[in-house]
Structure 1
Amino acid sequence: MKLAAIDMDGTLLHTEKEISDQTISTIQRLQQEGHAFIIATGRTLQDAKNIVTTAGIPADGYICANGAIIADRNGHILTEKHLGLHVATDIASWLHERKFYFHMATSEGLYATEDAYQFFLDDLQAYAHEKNDGGKMASAIRDQADRQLNNMEVKMLPAPEDIPSYDFNAYKFLVLSLFPNKLETISDAWEANPSITLTSSGKDNIELMPFDAEKGSGLTLMAKQLGIAPENTIAIGDNYNDLSMFKTAGFSIAMGNAEADVKQYADTETADNDANGVAKAIETHILGIRH
C-alpha cells in the first residue's frame, strides 16, 4: 500500500482549475487497488474537500493551508497551527498600508479587506501598462481572478485593526502581486520574524504562515494516521511550498510545469498539469502502467 500526497494548483488542477477526466479515473483506480490519496494544498480545507468530492475522488486525508490544518477523510481536524490574532493584525495592517492584495485563511473562511480588490486592480493596471499586449493580458488575468474569487466566497473584513474582535483562528495570508520586486519587500520585512514562515505557490504570490506549518510534517502525520510507512509515501507538486513534502516523502515527483529550482529537489519529473502529469505519475510509479 502506498500513499500519494498531491498538491492542487499547478498539479492536480489544470490551468482552468479543474481536474481532468483521465486524472479522476486514475485516482479512482489508485484507491480501488488499496492505495491512499491525500490532498496537500495551500487552499482551505472546505475548498479542497469540495473540489475533490465533487469530482468523485474524495481524499483519504487533507493537508491544507500549507500544513496549518491536517484533517481526516471526513474533514475532521486532527491538528491545526495558527497565527496569533495580534500577529495577524500586524501582518494585515502592514500589507494594507502598502496596498497589497491579500486574503487571510481562517477557521471561519477567507477574509479580505474592502480595499483589497481595488489594490489588485491597481497592480494589474500598472503591470499591463508595462507590457506591449498588456490590455489583453490584464483582461485574461482579471477574468480568471474574478472566477476564483467568486468560487472562494471571500468575506469582507472592514479593517485590519478589527481582526482581534473576531472569534476565529488565522491560519495564513496569501498575498498577490504581478511584480516580484514588490513581493520581495514582504520577505525583507518579515522573514526574520520568529513567529511566521514564508513560502510561495507561484511567482505571483507569497504566503505567510505559522512558523511550524509545512506540508512535510503534515505528510508525516497523515502517513502515521493511515498506517503507511514513510518509504511508501509519494509526493507530487510544482512549487516552493511543496519542497518540505519532497524532502519528507519516500519518493518525490515534480510536475513538468514546476519551477526549475523546485525540480532539482525531486526524484523524478512527470508531464505538466495540462497534460495529465498526475495521472501519468500515478500510473508509472504506483500502478505499474508503462507508457
Structure 2
Amino acid sequence: MGYKLIAIDMDGTLLNSKQKVSQKNIQAIQEAKSKGIYVVLCSGRAYDGIIDSAKILGINESDQYMICYGGSVIQNYDQEVIYQRTLKNENCEEIARFLTNKKIHYKFIDNTGTLYQSYQDWIEKHMLNPKLGIVKVLLKTRKHKLPEVLKLVHEQYDSDYFVVQTSEKELEIFPKNVNKGNALERLTKYLKISPKEVMAIGDYDNDMPMFKTAKFSVAVDNAIPKVKQLSDAVVADNDHDGVAEAIEKYVLE
C-alpha cells in the first residue's frame, strides 16, 4: 500500500544541527508533495516556530496541516484550528504549586506560543482574554538532575497527564492523552486516511507515540536508543539527510 501522509518531527530530525533544512530534504519532500502525499510537520513548537520551515519546503498552503505544541493543536497553514486541547486553570495552579515547592523551573505555554513564568502571570492574562489556553508546561533542569526530576514528575502526574522528556534538559506536561500519536490519529481520521498509509520519522521520546500510530516508522541515526528499537527502519542522521533517505527509500521508490 502506498503512503498518503508522512509525519515528520522537526528538531533533531528534519532540521540539522544548525537548525536548517537541507536541500536534499527539501527536494524529497517537494517530490512527495507533488505526488499528492501530505507532509505534516509534527513538533513541540508553536505555529511561528514551524511556518518558516514549511515555507522553505513549499507546504504552507491551506490544504496542508501541522501538528504543533506536541500534539495539543492541529491546524492548517491559514491557522484554522481543527483540534485543540488545553489544561484547565485549576490544573495549572496545582502544577505550579507542586513545581514551585520542589524548586523545579517551569514555564506555561499558551495556544499563541506565549510563555508565562508563573501561574499568576498566566491567570492575569487569561482574565483579559478567555480564548487563551495553556497547551503544555515546560520544565527545565540541569542535565545531571533530569533523571531525578523525571522520576518525581512521572510519579506525581502520570495518572492524570502525559509527561514526556523532550531533550537532555527538558520535559513537558500535557493534558491526558495529548501527544503526537493521538494528534496524528485525529488528523488521519479528519483526512480520511488509514494509519496503514502513514509513515512517521523522528528521534526522541515525544515521537514514540506517533511511531505507534503510523504503519511504518523511521528513526534517524542520531535518535535515542529506545526510539531506534521501536522503529521499523533507521536512516542517516539529521546532519546527513536522513529524512530524504527515508522518503526516497520507503515512499518514492
TM-score normalised by the chain length of structure 2: 0.87
Contact 1:234–1:253 (CA under 8 A) maintained in structure 2: yes
Contact 1:243–1:265 (CA under 8 A) maintained in structure 2: yes
Contact 1:62–1:75 (CA under 8 A) maintained in structure 2: no
Equivalent-residue separation in structure 2 for 1:19 and 1:7 (angstroms)? 12
Equivalent-residue separation in structure 1 for 2:248 and 2:57 (angstroms)? 19
What is the aligned partner in structure 2 of residue 103 from structure 1? Answer: 107
Equivalent-residue separation in structure 2 for 1:84 and 1:160 (angstroms)? 12
Q: Are residue 232 (structure 1) and residue 197 (structure 2) matched? A: yes
Which residue, 124, 136, 143 being the options, matches 1:172? 136
Equivalent-residue separation in structure 1 for 2:204 and 2:59 (angstroms)? 23
Whichever of the two has the greater Rg, that structure is 1
Q: Secondary structure at the match of 1:244?
A: helix
Contact 2:15–2:21 (CA under 8 A) maintained in structure 1: yes
> Alpha carbon RMSD of aligned pairs, Å?
2.0
For residue 66 of structure 1, report the CA deviation from its aligned partner: 1.4
What is the aligned partner in structure 1 of residue 235 from structure 2? Answer: 270
Q: Secondary structure at the match of 1:82?
A: coil
What is the aligned partner in structure 1 of residue 19 from structure 2? Answer: 17
Per the alignment, do residues 86 and 230 of structure 1 end up closer, same or farther by CA in structure 2, a change over 3 Å counting?
same
Alignment of 1:173-252 (within 5 A): 173-182=137-146, 184-193=148-157, 194-252=159-217
Q: Are residue 61 (structure 1) and residue 65 (structure 2) matched? A: yes
Q: Are residue 79 (structure 1) and residue 83 (structure 2) matched? A: yes
For residue 21 of structure 1, report the CA deviation from its aligned partner: 1.5
Contact 1:176–1:205 (CA under 8 A) maintained in structure 2: yes
For residue 183 of structure 1, report the CA deviation from its aligned partner: 5.2
Q: Secondary structure at the match of 2:252?
A: coil
What is the aligned partner in structure 2 of residue 284 from structure 1? Answer: 249
For residue 190 of structure 1, report the CA deviation from its aligned partner: 4.9
Equivalent-residue separation in structure 1 for 2:155 and 2:251 (angstroms)? 38
Equivalent-residue separation in structure 1 for 2:98 and 2:26 (angstroms)? 41
* Unaligned 5+ runs, structure 1: 114-158
Equivalent-residue separation in structure 2 for 1:175 and 1:228 (angstroms)? 35
Q: Which letter does structure 2 place at the counterpart of 1:95?
A: L
Q: Secondary structure at the match of 1:213?
A: coil
Q: Which letter does structure 1 place at the counterpart of 2:124?
A: S
What is the aligned partner in structure 2 of residue 48 from structure 1? Answer: 50
Equivalent-residue separation in structure 2 for 1:202 and 1:213 (angstroms)? 18
Identity of aligned residues (%): 31
Q: Are residue 256 (structure 1) and residue 221 (structure 2) matched? A: yes
Equivalent-residue separation in structure 2 for 1:184 and 1:12 (angstroms)? 30
1:224-253, Cα deviation, whole Å (9 max, x unpaired): 222322111000000111111111101000
What is the aligned partner in structure 1 of residue 30 from structure 2? Answer: 28
Per the alignment, do residues 39 and 235 of structure 1 end up closer, same or farther by CA in structure 2, a change over 3 Å counting?
same
What is the aligned partner in structure 2 of residue 136 from structure 1? Answer: none
Per the alignment, do residues 4 and 189 of structure 1 end up closer, same or farther by CA in structure 2, a change over 3 Å counting?
closer
Contact 1:49–1:75 (CA under 8 A) maintained in structure 2: no
Q: Secondary structure at the match of 1:109?
A: coil
Q: Which letter does structure 2 place at the counterpart of 1:200?
A: Q
What is the aligned partner in structure 1 of residue 9 from structure 2? Answer: 7
TM-score normalised by the chain length of structure 1: 0.77
1:97-120, Cα deviation, whole Å (9 max, x unpaired): 55544332202322142xxxxxxx
Bigger CA drift: 86-95 or 202-211?
86-95
For residue 87 of structure 1, report the CA deviation from its aligned partner: 1.7
Equivalent-residue separation in structure 2 for 1:284 and 1:174 (angstroms)? 36
Equivalent-residue separation in structure 2 for 1:37 and 1:8 (angstroms)? 12
Equivalent-residue separation in structure 2 for 1:255 and 1:97 (angstroms)? 38
1:34-54, Cα deviation, whole Å (9 max, x unpaired): 111001111113322333224
